[in-house]
Amino acid sequence: MRNDFPGLVTSNDKPWHYLDTAASAQKPQAVIDAMSRALGRDYATVHRGVYSRSAQMTLGYEAARRRMAVFLGAKSETEIVFTKGATEGINLVAHSWGGANLREGDRIVLSQLEHHSNIVPWQLLAERVGAEIDVCPLTEDGRIDCDWLQANLTAKHKIVALAHVSNVLGSVLDAQRAAKAAHGVGAKLLLDGCQAAPRMDLDMAALDCDFYVFSGHKTYGPTGIGVLWAREELLDAMPPYQGGGSMIDRVSFAGTTYAPPPQRFEAGTPMIAEAIALHAAIDYVEALGMERLFAHEAALAAQLRGELASLNSVRLFGPEQSAGIVSFALEGVHPHDLGTILDEENVAIRAGHHCAQPLMEHLGVPATARASFGLYSDESDIEALLRGIERTRRIFA
């Protein structure tokens, strides 16, 4: 697959060992071509034009929406809202659905491992309406503790918002158990699918969640686009998040009425080329087979964990079985120093808090080093990483 990804070639023609796919995936040529065509010979705006190029673009944009519906196993494409990314999707739900449905004294459940983008929008909502946030703890090996959910949710809890796959630990949520616990008390379940969409077969009916978000750029597509899926009846009842063109039914100074979903939530000129290129990205990954992808990355993660466990003075975080993401710390070496030395070896890892400071606090570290795999990763990436770690240990010895 590597040859499909121009981003994996370095200027000095040495292989680049890209181990930061969890932050953002490299793009296959098919996505770059789709983007280039959409911005080039096919370009026109959507939804407004009476000329044929605009009508063609509208067909392309709406075909992308249908493709997302198939990808997620949605009931209808009207359940698909294009957003700027997962962050905007969560903000949209917290602001629109949350603002309409949460009152003073209501409670929100998040977990200890959430990304800041699945924490801060809920804090803003809680402040606005006077709600409280409860934090679901993790099991010893770093999975969201569904037993805790089962035992602690009450009728006061209105929404449970959890990462489907952790961006730091690679742990996979038992989404069906979380849904059962949430629905058992009448709460809704939002899943942050940023790290699941690039590597898991998704079916909204089987997951039984109420809201699902993901980002295009982590799913081998472009930046600036993401998807929010929500149950039709929830979207129907939600007020607009932003006002502007394209989201209205009729505007007058006496009062404005709004378009039905999904247009109600897509104010302004949408991300046209980005949606079309995301369509190409989903075609590309699904053609490879999501189950194969998951197994490939999980096997690489297991191999790396095994190798790191055999070294002295390495601390490993997260469960044995990880969805292609391995967080670790080298005793006596700050992750940033490790990242800088690895960069000299053409190995790109992530070092930092990974936008999950409450998780870092729980782990008792300011930062971790994180290697994350993609569909193009292979054993040569692990070998290069281990060589770099050995060199770092010699430097710090």
Q: Point out which residues bind ligand PMP (CB under 6 A).
A: 23, 85-87, 115, 117-118, 163, 167, 192, 194-195, 215, 355
The SS3 call for residue 157 is: strand
Q: Alpha-carbon distance 30 to 32, whole Å?
A: 6
Q: How far is the CB of 294 from ligand PMP (least distance, A)?
A: 16
Per-state percent for the chain, helix, strand, coil, to nearest 5: 45, 20, 40
**Identity of the residue, 23 or 32, whose beta carbon is nearer to ligand PMP in the bound complex:** 23
**Annotation marks residue 355 as catalytic:** yes
Q: How far is the CB of 355 from ligand PMP (least distance, A)?
A: 6
- The CA–CA distances, whole Å, from 219 to 42, 75, 116, 334 equal 24, 22, 19, 30
Q: Could you tell me if residue 360 is left (phi over 0), alpha (psi between -120 and 50 degrees) or otherwise beta?
A: alpha
Q: How far is the CB of 192 from ligand PMP (least distance, A)?
A: 5
Tokens of 12: 């000095």
Q: How far is the CB of 166 from ligand PMP (least distance, A)?
A: 7
According to DSSP, residue 238 is labeled: P
**Identity of the residue, 164 or 264, whose beta carbon is nearer to ligand PMP in the bound complex:** 164
* Residue 278 identity (one-letter amino acid): L
**Identity of the residue, 169 or 333, whose beta carbon is nearer to ligand PMP in the bound complex:** 169
According to DSSP, residue 171 is labeled: P
Q: Alpha-carbon distance 180 to 378, whole Å?
A: 37
Neighbours of 216 (CB within 10 A): 31
**Identity of the residue, 96 or 215, whose beta carbon is nearer to ligand PMP in the bound complex:** 215
Q: How far is the CB of 239 from ligand PMP (least distance, A)?
A: 22
> Of 309, 281, 273, nearest to 214 (Cα)?
281
Backbone φ, ψ for residue 222 (5° rounding)? -80, 165
**Identity of the residue, 115 or 305, whose beta carbon is nearer to ligand PMP in the bound complex:** 115
Tokens of 97: 């659905």
Exposed e or buried b per residue across 183-205, where buried means at least 16 C-beta atoms within 10 angstroms of its C-beta:
bebebbbbbbbbbbbbbbebebe
Instruction: Compute and round to an integer the Cα radius of gyration of the chain.
Output: 22
**Identity of the residue, 96 or 118, whose beta carbon is nearer to ligand PMP in the bound complex:** 118
Q: How far is the CB of 229 from ligand PMP (least distance, A)?
A: 15
Beta strands (DSSP E) in 164-275 are: 188-192, 211-215, 226-230, 248-250, 257-258
**Identity of the residue, 193 or 261, whose beta carbon is nearer to ligand PMP in the bound complex:** 193
- Out of 136, 146, 209, 355, the active site residue is 355
Tokens of 344: 């000299």
Tokens of 186: 């009448």
Longest dimension (CA), the chain: 74
Catalytic residues, which ones?
355
